[in-house]
Chains A and B, each alone.
Chain A
């Protein structure tokens, strides 16, 4: 069975930023959180999926469809949400709904009405009078109402208050529970993602740092505190899998990637009084995202 979204060797070069080479695999039915600091290449990646800009190298396929050669077939299966979408020229909510439903034979009018009600949007409202958050919710309604097998969401919770965020995530969850739907979501709401997503990938400076099931990823990393009598900081800082987070006198805190370095190795370097602790996704994000 093909991946819901598969990116191989994707590259896009700008004057002051290069995305990739990027490899990314989203299994079918996964809720994949795509995280990374600002300017790391998340939106560029998503834009390239939809052909907004040309890639310099690599391939992108969605449910086995190439994003350029099978563009139409791919887009018939992918719903897209972004706060950058502009529906204002349509005037009122109902007009943009009439426009979008024409493209999707699977459009479910009752479901669309339910979603509008849940998000407190009325079809007669002027789009200009909607708040920023309500416009994002409208984009979500337009993407969910035809029940696409894959949803690509670019920062859907930007500008939403805590209640609205909860609402958006719970609607997404119920949409996913209904069928074998895949969600690829780029977001800075890491705490919410940790509860909602089952897979995560992190990008930094255009390169993927890690990806996998959230439980596995969180199990892989540990905060480790220890004491060293003789400073061996150069060796520690250079060792793959060890990222120094803080040090005070001879007491150290490092982020340990247990797939590349072990506590036994630390002991062999003279570390004593060792304690380790699991991380939350947000702590991992901050630890790895920091330059």
Chain B
């Protein structure tokens, strides 16, 4: 669209200063060229798509947030067969079509478990759901626990299944429980979900005056971050309040991730990261994984400087989604952006062209189209997350070998600031 506009605008001014014949000749030549160019751009586009698909297949493609774990756990949904209900965005056939190599299944613990009890047990139920899929589909899925596992399983042509807890209340205020979750294979944890817990403020319910807040992380919350560092569990800042984000950056001794958050400068919602946060994340050597949810990427719906409307956006475009990748790359740098789809966690409210996991190659195509090099695209697709994960592992190894011991801090013994 942009190139066409420029051509139309400049053509007549050239014609004015030429005689009729020359003008006619040039016009014919131009039409010919235009035809040729159109044909050529079609070929170019096909070529680009082909190149994108090839690159996408080669690359290690990682998504750090998928909520299909909930129907897996609660409705017995099986990843093996293509879903025909139209309600599910993730299954093995479509993961294969989408060239996905590693998925972090969300071990989502709803806020109600914090109130009613059973949070740790609920997390165990969800963890079981993931292991069960790996048991049922060994030819397609393999449990992975390290960055090396992801590379190895990718080589074997299978999907690496990983787990991240969504909602820090899952540990029921116990660092011992946190360690058991690590032992069970959980490799990241969002410090909160939409609820402020006993040690960290959430971006959700920020206007709920009834909720006791800590001004970010409490002392125990900082201890949780340090213990995650020592274990080698990635600290995930998606869902936390801005103050919590700052406290995490200040506390952590390893890179952190935002497993499913986009850019607040484009879409002004509290779940997205401000430019300052993106910069802080880059400085921390971490990575922001762009969330595909319409409500987080629609640049019309929640313009910066204006409050987000009460009702979530139901529509957004691919263009808007890619703008978030571009913005995050521009602000944080190409080494600090990745994919955190939130498939099956947003009621299907996804941009046109990104309706399910099979559409992931479009990201590769769109990024190449915008001039990113193959190497840069590979970073966004997975290498950035792999680097962060490897650094988190290394930091943990170093902490442990230099004598850092498991923390037995109790929440009651540490005070909220």
Do the two shown chains form a genuine complex with each other? no
Q: Which B residues have a C-beta under 8 Å from some C-beta of A? A: none
